[in-house]
Amino acid sequence: MTKKKSVNKVVFDIETSNVFSEVGSNDPAKLDISVVAVYESNTDEYTVYEVEEFDKMWPIFERADMLVGYNSDHFDIPLLNKYYPGDLNKIKSLDLLVEVKNALGRRLKLETIAQATLNEGKSGHGLQAVNWWKEGKKDLVKKYCKDDVRITKEVYDYAKKNKELKYLDFGEERVIKLNTKDWENVEETGAMTHTLPF
């Protein structure tokens, strides 16, 4: 029996240098990225990139069998695609917020799930990160973004193992049952090479 190849998951999160009210639009692609934090399961490494370092980051995405994020289908991927020469939509995406909304019927913040599931809250919030960036506190933004990726990864791992996530509803702990059996079913596809030198 052949050993099943482990699925290379890339968990990621984006911070922006501005907010919707500043660009006069609700379209994520109108915003500008400050940093992207990435976790790659094959290397078990976390890295953070500023825009001028994206040439080092794209190969990580191109090695991914699947992308994992929170609100990533609606927010992170459309915004990241603005910077990417190819189309990140061609990689399988697992958006934990979509899974939660489909199971529960409404959206929940990552913070709400992390507190109940992992007993740990986030280390800040997006608006704070924008202000830090404007104040030149890049290290704080990078740490916050990396923390978000770690929390997202741990939420994913918990859900995959336990087929559920927890959240607090007016102080009461509640459970969201999830069907995770197809999460890591990925089709065999050739490696993407939109940014790799020929």
- Per residue in 100-121, pLDDT tens? 999 999 999 999 999 999 987 7
pLDDT band at 85 (very low <50, low <70, confident <90, very high): very high
Q: Is the pLDDT of residue 2 over 50?
A: no
Residue 190 has pLDDT above 70, yes or no: no
Fold of 9-98+126-157: Nucleotidyltransferase; domain 5 (3.30.420)
Q: What is the pLDDT of residues 128-147, one digit of tens each?
A: 899 999 999 999 999 999 99
| pLDDT for the residue 119 | 86
The CA distance from 99 to 113, in Å, is 12
Res. 195 pLDDT band, cuts 50 70 90: low
pLDDT of residue 194: 56
| Mean pLDDT for all residues in the chain | 91
Overall pTM > 0.85 = yes
86 against 194, higher pLDDT: 86
Residue 55 tokens read as 């040439």
Burial pattern 66-105, b for ≥16 Cβ within 10 A else e, equals bbbbbbbbebbbbbbeeebeeebeebbbbbbbbbbeeeee
Q: Where are the domains of the chain?
A: 9-98+126-157
User: What pLDDT shows up at residue 140?
Assistant: 95
| pLDDT mean over 70-88 | 96
Mean pLDDT, range 144-155, rounded to an integer: 96
Exposed, middle or buried, 123 (CB in 10 Å: 0-12/13-18/19+)? middle
